[in-house]
Structure formats: C-alpha cells, structure tokens
Amino acid sequence: MENELIKQARARLIFPLDVSSLREAQKWVKALAQEVGVFKVGLELFVAEGPDVFQMIRDESEADIFLDLKFHDIPHTMKRAAWRASVHGVDILTVHMLAGRKAVKGCVEVVEGGTQVFGVTILTSHTRAELMEIGYAPELCRDLKSAVMRLAGLAYRVGCHGVVCSAREVSTVKEAFPLLRTIVPGIRPEWASSPQDQVRVATPQEALLAGADYLVIGRPIREAQDPLEAAQRIIQEMAQALKEIET
C-alpha cells in the first residue's frame, strides 16, 4: 500500500521547467525523472526552444508532458494551435477560459491522441484589485470563488477534461463538477520559501485533501539546497495526504 501511494503521489506531481534553455531543462528532467510524474513546459522555455523540448522529455523520462501556454486568441487560431500541440504528443495543454465558449470548445474537439485540455480560471497571482482594474464585475471581484466557478462551469459545459484553479477554490469545483480534473498551482510546503508572486497558496496536504488531482510545485524544489531530497520530501507529504483520503 505504501509503495502504491508513493507511486500515485509521483504521478500527481507537476514540476515546471521554468528555464530558458534546452540544456538547463534537460538537467532538471534528468535529476527528477524518477520523482516527477509530469513536466510542465511554459512560455519561457517554449519560446526559447520550441517543440524540441518535448522529445527531450520523452528521451530522458517516462513523465507526461504538460504544455502550459494558456491559449487565448480567436477560435480558429486556438483550434489550430491545440491540434498542433496534440500532434506533438503533449498529454495536457491549457487554454484560458476567458477566450470564450467557441474557442475553448474548438480546442477540445480537435485534439488527438489522448491530449487533455484544461481550462485556466483565475490566475493564482491575481488579486481582487487587479480583477476590478481589468473589468471584472464587482460582485465577482469581491468573491474570487464565484469568478472561478463561473469559468469552471463553462469548462465543464464545453467538454474540458479539467481546470486550473487555486487550492482555495478546488473543493468547490470538485463538489460541483466531480468529473473535472484539477491542476492546482501555488503549492508551498510549510518548510519552503515565501510564495513570492502567488497570493492564493496552500501546502501539498491541504490541496490534496481539498480535492486537487495534480499539484504544480516548482520553487520549493528548484530553490532547495538538495532539489531531489526536496522532491522526495514533498512526495512523502503527498502520499500521507492520499493515505488520509483513502481512510
């Protein structure tokens, strides 16, 4: 049972390759290949290296590939980009729900090969004041959970496989839409550094107990004196939370 829980925890751990070169990304993939279930490719690395990074991840690990570009454009452009990402064999890609029903639904409809589309709700860096400034309705700015739920509901209706949300909203999302998978960024173990540019954060245990399916954990591993030991410590914490869920 213990080994199975560790295996499950690893499968749920997403490590963001927030670096600017293929060589540096490869260093991290090699170092963490046995502990990380999903490697995330974001804007910086993809702009720097393009799709070559996908092959590198496949060569160096058995982990899934998460392309986190948060597509937000006109429907035709998003649809073509989503299809191309699926052709490259990415396992998960993100679209921003603010792109609207037609654009997001088009992405869901065209992906191939088992690629899953996750809708981004409200970024964990956003505050109420920022949402007000960019034009959100005052009632949604006062209650970020309502804003997240509005977008999660749209994601569910257009067929997204899951959503990206903070740990503060994940339990409500899972209660309302149990079939939606959830990716939760902004995860910080109690022993890790400060959250910096993310304001809605939680520990791995808190997020999993709330219903998170995947945890995005970068800085607590990357900035540790011993990144491998930090990843293993996080996995132990995740496994303990999964044990609590099972019992």
Q: What pTM, to 2 d.p., does this model score?
A: 0.92
Number of domains in the chain: 1
Name the residue range of residue 223's domain: 2-246
Query: DSSP of 38-101, one letter per residue?
Result: EEEE-HHHHHHHTTHHHHHHHHH-S-EEEEEEEE-S-HHHHHHHHHHHHHTT-SEEEEEGGG-H
Give me the pLDDT at residue 122, please: 78
Catalytic residues: 70
Specify the 3-state DSSP secondary structure of 207.
helix
pLDDT at 129: 74
Q: What is the reported pLDDT for 194?
A: 56
Per-residue pLDDT at 118: 98
pLDDT beneath 70, residues of the chain = 1-2, 124, 128, 132, 134-135, 138-141, 193-200
Helix, strand or coil, per DSSP, at residue 16: strand
User: What is the spatial distance between Cα 44 and Cα 188, in angstroms, rounded to a whole number?
Assistant: 22
- Report the CATH number at residue 31: 3.20.20.70
Q: Which of 246, 184, 239, 190 is nearest to 217 (CA)?
A: 184
